[in-house]
Amino acid sequence: MININNDQALLGFSYFAKIGPKKMKQLEIYFSEARFAYWASSEKLEKAGLKNKLITEFVNWRKNINLEIIENSLKNENICFITWHNRDYPSILKEIYDPPFIIYYKGSINIFNKITSNRLAIVGSRKHSAYAEKILNIFIPTLVNNNIEIVSGLALGIDSLAHQICLEHNGLTIAVLGSGLTRENIYPALNYPLSQTIICNKGLLISEFPPQTQPLKQNFPQRNRIISGLCQATLIIEAKEKSGALITAFHALEQNREIMTIPGNIFSDYSIGPNKLIKLGAKVITSPDEILEFFKIQNQKSLSIVPKIIEEIKLNNQSEKIIYKIIQEATERSEKISADEITRISKLDTSVINSTLSILELRGIAKNDELGYYIN
């Protein structure tokens, strides 16, 4: 048996996935301190309420675990951790039913040290419309200029946009991961550069999972409770009927936190989630000032939303004019439009449409992603 402190004990327990927050709390109540539980005999662990099978697995597992090696590997990866007994642990997270007993992090823990912090979780679909992007570009600058921190999950789509726009306006953002914090496990891999930008701009990457944990599917619903648990309110922007964003919303509901949502097009699959939440009593949000009102902030620093002065676009032929007009009308409806839909509306030859779309993209007049074409 090696003498260890409580933080080291909780670090060790975090590597044994079958003991989560609920069982950890149970052990701490019985043993008074985690360090006594870590090296406890099978008999005492049974008296603490653990099942025999779990005890056998844990006792066999801990024989092969070297806490010193674990601590050194964390240092080599520049990964730090706090436990629910540390003063840096966010007090708001302790209020939820099953707070993580350990948080691994990269970045500035100073975010958690503020006497008062206003945090808003922003989550939504991995695929999104131009409407959602427009909402984020209007809302987030006002929010961060009024010192609201943005929390999300680093996923593609709404999450990534929320982090990016927040950073563009010098805001503080926290990304909660459903995987470990080593480079190979940052998920999605495409967002590794974004994760480093968050760290470099006084933000924070956090996870309750040990650093080598892969981004397994079952981890993400579990991490969603932390996204909502860190915040006074959660804003849902576009979500299908079954989505991680809705799981986050229901966690927020269980945690007695405010659920906010943006009303959407009733004909869009991505509006099913928000519109369902509205029926359940979610707060309908149509302007950033309504969010500031919830936080009891008088909007003194709101950015004026000034329409961009758009230079006259030179279109070289009739085909370009027809196709540009179709894309422009879709964009004004806050929608993106597919090449097939452009073909149907314009009745132009497919080869003409494809070549014209390529030209418009090359000239920067139109943009395209997997959801379709739009005017930026």
Within a domain: 306:
no
Kindly state the tokens that stand for 70.
């674990």
- pTM, full prediction: 0.80
Clarify whether residues 159 and 274 are in a common domain: yes
Cα Dmax for the chain = 84
H helical segments located in 187-317: 192-200, 219-229, 244-254, 272-279, 288-294
Quick check: 319 and 352 in contact, CB under 8 A?
yes
**Across 343-348, average pLDDT:** 90
Within a domain: 209:
yes
Clarify whether residues 135 and 274 are in a common domain: yes
Quick check: 92 and 226 in contact, CB under 8 A?
no
Clarify whether residues 116 and 249 are in a common domain: yes
From 203, 192, 282, select the one nearest 237 (Cα to Cα): 282
pLDDT band for position 306 (cuts 50, 70, 90) = very low
Quick check: 159 and 168 in contact, CB under 8 A?
no
Within a domain: 176:
yes
Q: How far apart are CA 75 and CA 53, in angstroms?
A: 34
Within a domain: 214:
yes
pLDDT band for position 300 (cuts 50, 70, 90) = low
**Across 279-289, average pLDDT:** 91
Dump the DSSP string for 253-277: HHTT-EEEE----TT-GGGHHHHHH
Q: What is the CATH number of the domain that holds 345?
A: 1.10.10.10
C-beta neighbour count of 68 within 10 angstroms:
10
Clarify whether residues 47 and 190 are in a common domain: no
In tens, the pLDDT along 96-151 reads 999 999 999 999 998 887 766 899 999 998 888 888 888 999 999 999 999 999 99
Q: Single out the residue in 72, 99, 118 at which a domain terminates.
A: 72
In tens, the pLDDT along 309-318 reads 333 567 888 8
Clarify whether residues 65 and 95 are in a common domain: no
Clarify whether residues 263 and 369 are in a common domain: no
Provide the pLDDT for residue 44.
Answer: 96
pLDDT band for position 375 (cuts 50, 70, 90) = confident
Provide the pLDDT for residue 116.
Answer: 66
pLDDT band for position 1 (cuts 50, 70, 90) = low
**Domains identified in the chain, total number:** 3
Q: How far apart are CA 228 and CA 144, in angstroms?
A: 18
Inform me whether the pLDDT recorded for 89 exceeds 50: yes
pLDDT band for position 304 (cuts 50, 70, 90) = very low
Clarify whether residues 133 and 55 are in a common domain: no
Clarify whether residues 184 and 217 are in a common domain: yes
Within a domain: 311:
no
Cα 288 to the center of its chain, rounded Å? 19
Within a domain: 313:
no
Provide the pLDDT for residue 313.
Answer: 66
In tens, the pLDDT along 23-73 reads 999 999 999 999 999 999 999 999 999 999 999 999 999 999 999 999 999
Provide the pLDDT for residue 265.
Answer: 79
Q: What is the CA radius of gyration of the chain?
A: 24
Clarify whether residues 208 and 325 are in a common domain: no
In tens, the pLDDT along 67-86 reads 999 999 999 999 999 999 99
Domain that holds residue 334: 318-374
pLDDT band for position 305 (cuts 50, 70, 90) = very low
Kindly state the tokens that stand for 99.
């707070």
From 149, 190, 156, 155, select the one nearest 176 (Cα to Cα): 155
Within a domain: 83:
no
Per the listing, tokens 């406890």 go with 40
Clarify whether residues 166 and 36 are in a common domain: no
Within a domain: 312:
no
Residue 365: C-alpha distances to residues 87, 278, 308, 326 (Å): 52, 37, 15, 13
Clarify whether residues 288 and 261 are in a common domain: yes
Provide the pLDDT for residue 309.
Answer: 30
Q: Single out the residue in 294, 327, 352 at which a domain terminates.
A: 294
Clarify whether residues 109 and 254 are in a common domain: yes
